[in-house]
Amino acid sequence: MHRNPALPWVLPFAVFMLLLAAGPHLGLSHRAELALRLFAPAAALAVFSWRILDFRCVSPWMSALLGVGVFFVWVAPDALIPGYRDSVLFQNILTGSLKTTLPAEARDDMLAIAMRVARAALVVPLVEELFWRGWLMRWLVRHDFGQLPLGYYQAGASWITAALFAVEHGPYWDVGLIAGAVYNGWLVRTRCLGDLFLAHAVTNACLAAFVLWTGRWELWL
Using 50, 70 and 90 to split pLDDT, how confident is the model at 1? very low
92 φ, ψ (degrees, to nearest 5): -155, -175
Q: Would you state the pLDDT for residue 173?
A: 97
CA within 13 Å, CB half, 19: 21
Mean pLDDT taken over the chain: 95
Report the range of poorest mean pLDDT among 1-15, 39-53, 199-213: 1-15
pLDDT in tens, 165-185: 999 999 999 999 999 999 999
Q: Where are the domains of the chain?
A: 55-219
Look at residue 2 and tell me whether its pLDDT is greater than 60: no
